[in-house]
Amino acid sequence: MSQVQQTAAPGAAVQPQISSADLAGTWQHVCALEDIWPNTGVCALVEGRQIAIFRMHDDVLYAIDNHDPHSGANVLSRGIIGDLGGEPVVASPIYKQHYQLRTGICVEDAGTRLTTYPVELRNGAVWVQA
């Protein structure tokens, strides 16, 4: 895994994102940052993949698979985001497993890991690499 540094508009928070996605992938514009409410997620179709993109209260962005392997549903973008022990997570709206947004690891089942994707804020626009 490698670390990708987000680029941000002046004054915006910058957070490193760990990615297990193919780093040779294509960057795609997804939406304007203002289209994602703080502390919520949205789903975007990027290169044929459903990707859940989360905007934290400080404008830090995370991108993970939208597919919840425990329920089999594409619902993680609708999960509740928060933190467990300082680690940002999303809770699945179906069976409530928590997935770490930085790594994609399921807190309750460390053997389950989602793909994470590099995500950047460029001049007020959200971009994802898939």
Residue indicated by tokens 């985001």: 81
46 with 130: CB under 8 angstroms?
yes
Give percent above pLDDT 70 in the chain: 82
Give domain limits for the chain.
2-129
Distances (CA, A) of 18 to 63, 70, 77, 100: 10, 22, 18, 11
User: Does 3 score more than 80 pLDDT?
Assistant: no
| Count of C-beta atoms within a 10 Å radius of residue 113 | 17
Query: Rg (Cα) of the chain, in Å, rounded?
Result: 13
pTM over 0.85: no
> Which fold does the domain 2-129 belong to in CATH?
Rieske Iron-sulfur Protein (2.102.10)
Q: What is the mean pLDDT of the chain?
A: 87
* Residue 24: predicted pLDDT: 65
Residue 13 has what pLDDT? 41
pLDDT grade, residue 25 (50/70/90)? confident
Alpha helices in the chain (DSSP H): none
Give the integer Cα–Cα distance in Å for 80 and 98. 9
Helices and strands, counts by H and E, the chain:
0, 13
